[in-house]
Amino acid sequence: MLSLFRDRSSRFGLNTVCATAVLASGWCFPVQAAQYYWQPAAELSAQTNSNLELDPAVGTDRKEGYIAEVSSRLGVATTRSDTMIIPRLQYQKYPDVDGADRLQGDLSFSSNYNSPRSALSVLGVYQHLDELNAELANARFDRLNPNQPLSPETGQVRPGATRDVILLNPTYTYRLNERFGLGTSVLYQGINYSPDDDVSAVDFDYYRADVFLKRALSPRADIAFSPYVAKYKARDIDSKSDSVGGAIGLEMRWSKTLVGRFNTSVERAKIDQTEPQVNKDTVTAWGADFSLTRTGEISELILSLGRAVTPSGGGSLYYTDQVQVQYDRDLSARLKVLSAARYIRDRSLGNVSSTVDRDYGQADVGIQWMMSRTWYLRAGYTYISQKYDFETDTARNNRFEVSVGYRGLDRQQ
């Protein structure tokens, strides 16, 4: 399966190269009512870690790392649509960690189309990352998809091991009239570990299909009712689950700068697992989450908290309780403070505990200085802690990082 992922990655890479060649001839220009844009970026970083691999038996084992990253935003926008592709490549070197020197990357795709009666959005992600980057959830939000639907991480870090992910999420809405809309959404996530195991690096496929009815309560508020079905299937061990449920979602747009969302769901999950342990149970699981985004002239606040039922590399479905907050503020025209924090509590569904039941936390604080309109210097500190239920000690890492980078000018609206 890994070869299939790599083949897809190669095709994505070829398309990206072709798009880059076309877009490189102009920064941002209209062609037949379409606007093409290209925003390149590059960054060099140096960091030091007190416990890079989050080993609870290690007090302090200082290790340095050096990272080079290049990325680009490629897109085209019209009056009805907006499509963006973000390829990213990263090379990292940790001189004192065997197998950690690696070239890796990801590719994100987002497209939205609107007509007077319908709307279509498609989100796609491909990742090929080592476990240092893939399995330790970042405190900062993903800009392309801030409300991540799934959290498959187990927190296990094996130097030299990699994780490949494919995620695809199309959503279609048809407006019946001014107040009502009917739509459907499909979510697929496939994960492949190299090497895999039957405890904390289980390859799997996850599918979910929703049908929803959406009603406008007012010009600033919408509510949606959504029955859904979902299926989890591990590839190399005997573990699967089938779920049927329903969800209610409310979106409030208090102003152009303040948006809130609340979602709640209940599902009936039939779990059938015989490896690495027996877990045969039918569970009524619930989820609820609240998110808030506030964008000011000199600051931005993003908040998300709640519980979700999510597939996991631990070999089954899990409860994930999570709190995530990000706050950035401009101190001057050139100086900005960056801060974020995230707490995750993972517990397996069913009548047995799991070796990847854990509590995980990360907090970031940093400062960024714009040396020019496109060049910046950033320094930051990150604290990471993780404790598994079966372990008595908590693993902690203190990271200090300095970066210099280039980011092209933002797209001209």
Asked whether residue 30 carries a pLDDT value surpassing 80, the answer given is no
Average pLDDT over every residue of 333-357 = 90
Among residues 142, 140, 72, 54, the alpha carbon closest in space to that of 366 is found at 140
Q: Would residue 293 count as lying in a domain?
A: yes
Length of the chain counted residue by residue: 413
Asked whether residue 27 carries a pLDDT value surpassing 60, the answer given is no
Asked whether residue 22 carries a pLDDT value surpassing 50, the answer given is no
Tens digit of each residue's pLDDT (9 = 90 or more) over 262-280: 999 999 999 998 877 778 8
Q: Would residue 166 count as lying in a domain?
A: yes
User: What is the rounded CA–CA span in Å between residue 47 and residue 399?
Assistant: 7
- Asked which of 50-54, 231-235, 351-355 is least confident by mean pLDDT, the reply is 351-355
Q: Which two tokens stand for residue 15?
A: 């398309």
Asked whether residue 59 carries a pLDDT value surpassing 80, the answer given is no
Supply the pLDDT for residue 413.
62
Q: Would residue 413 count as lying in a domain?
A: no
Q: What is the DSSP letter of 2?
A: H
Q: What share of the chain is helix, strand, coil (3-state, %, to 5)?
A: 5, 65, 30
Supply the pLDDT for residue 19.
44
Range of the domain at 7: 2-407
Average pLDDT over every residue of 361-379 = 97
Asked whether residue 7 carries a pLDDT value surpassing 50, the answer given is no
Q: Would residue 41 count as lying in a domain?
A: yes
Supply the pLDDT for residue 167.
95
Tens digit of each residue's pLDDT (9 = 90 or more) over 293-338: 999 999 999 999 999 999 999 888 999 999 999 999 999 999 999 9
Among residues 332, 326, 286, the alpha carbon closest in space to that of 308 is found at 286
Asked whether residue 287 carries a pLDDT value surpassing 50, the answer given is yes
> Phi/psi of residue 184, each to 5°?
-145, 150
Q: Which two tokens stand for residue 171?
A: 């959503």
Supply the pLDDT for residue 199.
80
Asked whether residue 73 carries a pLDDT value surpassing 60, the answer given is yes
Q: Which two tokens stand for residue 238?
A: 């005997």
The strand pairing partners of 342, in sequence order, are 324, 362
Q: How confident is the model at residue 149 (pLDDT cuts 50, 70, 90)?
A: low
Supply the pLDDT for residue 31.
44
> Phi/psi of residue 197, each to 5°?
-150, 180
Structural domains counted in the chain: 1
Q: Would residue 98 count as lying in a domain?
A: yes
Q: How confident is the model at residue 341 (pLDDT cuts 50, 70, 90)?
A: very high
Supply the pLDDT for residue 62.
93
- Asked which of 11-15, 57-61, 321-325, 392-396 is least confident by mean pLDDT, the reply is 11-15
Supply the pLDDT for residue 146.
64
Supply the pTM of this predicted model. 0.87
Q: Would residue 412 count as lying in a domain?
A: no
- Asked which of 11-25, 287-301, 382-396 is least confident by mean pLDDT, the reply is 11-25
CATH of the domain at 251: 2.40.160
Q: How confident is the model at residue 29 (pLDDT cuts 50, 70, 90)?
A: very low
Supply the pLDDT for residue 3.
40
User: What is the rounded CA–CA span in Å between residue 116 and residue 185?
Assistant: 20
Average per-residue pLDDT for the chain: 89
